[in-house]
Structure 1
């Protein structure tokens, strides 16, 4: 049916699962177009994009000449941004209520302290929206009090002082609304909604998300029944743990055909412990445990210590406390931003934390063995490309989670 057993690829289907992102998927097409052209110029190959024809998921086609081989790939984005947008449509008071509930879930259960034993960066990123929202509330309170006190000195009239109090409250509310309007710069509301989404169910999937996982599985199963050489699933950030569940379901159901396309799973900048360490994440922990032993796929997990929003070099199966006998996956290694980006480029990006979380999808001006565009449009399967590649020695691969129960 395909040439997948040789590790050579002429045709590929790529399914990209975004993280918690409300933005239209065209953002990912433009990122691929721009960064693919930059990487091609640096590395000496050719990458060209064309519109995807037909109905179905949003995507694009890629024609590449890499390592002297012509490869065609169809990239599709598996969208759950509508679910994300619905979960983000909260008022200012509702967001502060989310803050209290989320803090209670992570702190009250002891999960936060377990996460801090892994990497400080993503824990700081999780605490950032809490701190920023508290600061915004305190500033709004200060504006209101100062307005009332200063103007109140001008009059002893009770009615006037009441009016000044109302004005102070109004200015405080106006400041909170201004902060919310400018959240594209502060990311406090966005990140709060992100962490609150999983905390609301203590790591369980909502019915809407379960339905979307099933739909993703149907799409990938249909691709596995076609005559392509590789089907590659890419899960970025929160999309990584969705990919785990999608692929575990497919394999359990016998929907990965023997002799069909090679199946690869690339998880990038994963934040799996933020969910798998929660008490009700039995479904995800079971999927991690199951997928880690399967020979139907190759699973490569790429992170980087320079990405402060990811659990860098943390084996998501092992740290979740569910590593079984015979564990094979994932292969965990670093994209090593400080080595694969020139000093000048690293200096430019170092403090742009949100941008660095997307660096896995971008060009490197000192590339080593991680190249997103060669993986998605090059002539080797994911398994062949990293066959024999050792895992990073500095990875964390021992159990840390307090909760290790799995779904039956």
Structure 2
């Protein structure tokens, strides 16, 4: 459909937590060889990922309370109200169900005594179970889980995620030193955007004069949910280091219909910097309406989780955003989007004084 062919080679393990495979891009005029390195960290998430329903409800409520108390949710609504709804909806739903269930129990007790109390509580438990089944389908509590994961990992004595960031940073520095390539691109999706920024920041010191073009692509990023946490000073420093660097081309791509990301919000601006002369990051709209099937993009049938993963999926129609051409094609990231200006004047999803910030 797009006029090129991609051949994907066999996957192999390069080292602990790093897989590699080769990709050959064949277009009408050019062919490109790309080495893909997949840096895994899901094993860390699994150590802190809650599965039991009661524990999940507790973790969601406590993590949401800490985010509310620290101002993360307030800032989220200021910068992107859809992201605010996504972040707060799980805790609100759990609280409503709990209050409704307890209310049924109290009402039943007042009407017919103990049997009414037990019946009301039974209905409340059934509603909670129904909510859990809906959560399994719609993943309503993933934000609470992620906030809880981040806090628990930051508070742990092992700091295993920090060590993994350092290892990936060393891998990037070694690949830069090896040379022999035109471009090295680091890609991060959703929460992974925070790790991609962290890895890139670790490689910016003492770059060789003949270093290849360095590119950073963040898509569907949720960086601010983490960067606004009081204990996330290191992350804020990493965002600043990459945003202020002239050695890397950072493009951040998002879609306003995606309520699970901070659409067209500059992470560095959101944590406090107001220097609009920076070229990093370039903010671009993915324009999913151009590449998704109309029936899947239509609002009545829209699957928000499907939308959030469209960034790393093939499109059904040709468009400016093409993940595979971006990551395997002949143009560098900066060259591919050189014709599009950064979008810093999109404030439709903001509230209050943040509408005036660029």
Q: TM-score range by the shorter chain?
A: 0.7 to 0.9
Contact (CA 8 Å) 1:129, 1:187: kept in 2 or not?
no
Q: Residues 85 and 204 of structure 1: is their aligned pair in 2 closer, same or farther, counting only changes over 3 Å?
A: closer
Q: Equivalent of 1:250, from 160, 179, 203?
A: 203
Correspondence 1:121 to 2:82? yes
Distance 2:81 2:277 in 1: 30
Structure 1 residues 135, 61: closer, same or farther in 2, change over 3 A? farther
8 Å CA contact 2:185–2:216 kept in 1: the answer is yes
Q: Does 1:51 align with 2:4?
A: no
Where in structure 2 are the equivalents of 1:197-208 lying within 5 Å?
Answer: 197-198=149-150, 207-208=159-160
Provide the residue aligned with 2:252 in structure 1: 301
Instruction: Provide closer, same or farther for how the CA distance between residues 206 and 367 of structure 1 changes in structure 2, counting only shifts above 3 A.
Output: farther
2:175 counterpart of 1:214 = no
TM-score where L is the length of structure 1: 0.73
Provide the residue aligned with 1:71 in structure 2.
32
Aligned counterparts of 1:191 and 1:355: Cα–Cα separation in 2: 16
Q: 2:64 aligns with which of 96, 103, 111?
A: 103
Specify whether residues 203 and 374 from structure 1 end up closer, same or farther in structure 2 by C-alpha distance, changes over 3 A only.
Answer: farther
For residues 145-185 of structure 1, the C-alpha deviation after alignment (integer angstroms, 9 at most, x for no partner) is 79x869x96xx9xxxx69x9779867865764665466430
Residue pair 2:216, 2:248 contacting (<8 A) in 1 also: yes
SS of 2:32's partner is strand
Q: Give the aligned length.
A: 348
Structure 1: which 5+ runs fail to align? Answer: 1-41, 401-408
User: Alpha carbons of 1:393 and 1:168: their partners in 2 closer, same or farther (altered >3 Å)?
Assistant: closer
Asked whether the 8 Å contact 2:48–2:152 carries over to 1, the reply is no
SS of the residue corresponding to residue 204 of structure 2 reads: helix
**Is 1:195 aligned with 2:195?**
no
Structure 2: unaligned runs, 5 residues or longer? none
RCO comparison, higher one (Cα < 8 Å, 6+): 1
Q: Secondary structure at the match of 1:63?
A: strand
Which residue of 1 is the match for residue 214 of structure 2? 263
Q: Secondary structure in 1 aligned to 2:23?
A: strand
For 1:368, the equivalent position in structure 2 comes to 319
Q: CA deviation at 1:214?
A: 0.7
Q: CA separation of 1:353/1:268 partners in 2, compared to 1, >3 Å: closer, same or farther?
A: same
Q: State the match for 2:176 in structure 1.
A: 224
1:5-404 matches, cutoff 5 A: 42-56=1-15, 57-89=18-50, 91-138=52-99, 141=102, 176=128, 179-180=131-132, 183-198=135-150, 207-226=159-178, 227-252=180-205, 254=206, 256-323=207-274, 327-341=278-292, 343-347=294-298, 351-395=302-346
Aligned partners of 2:58 and 2:241: how far apart in 1? 36
Question: C-alpha displacement at 1:390, in angstroms?
Answer: 1.1
- Quote the Cα distance in structure 2 between the aligned partners of 1:349 and 1:206: 45
Q: Tell me how far apart the structure 2 counterparts of residues 205 and 309 of structure 1 sit (CA, whole Å).
A: 30
1:241-287: CA deviation from partner (whole Å, max 9, x where unpaired): 111111111213x2x43313221110001112212222222111111
Once the two structures are TM-superposed, the CA of residue 53 in structure 1 deviates from its matched residue by 3.7
Distance of aligned partners of 1:204 and 1:330 in 2 relative to their CA distance in 1, 3 Å threshold: farther
- Offset at residue 322 of structure 1 (A): 2.9
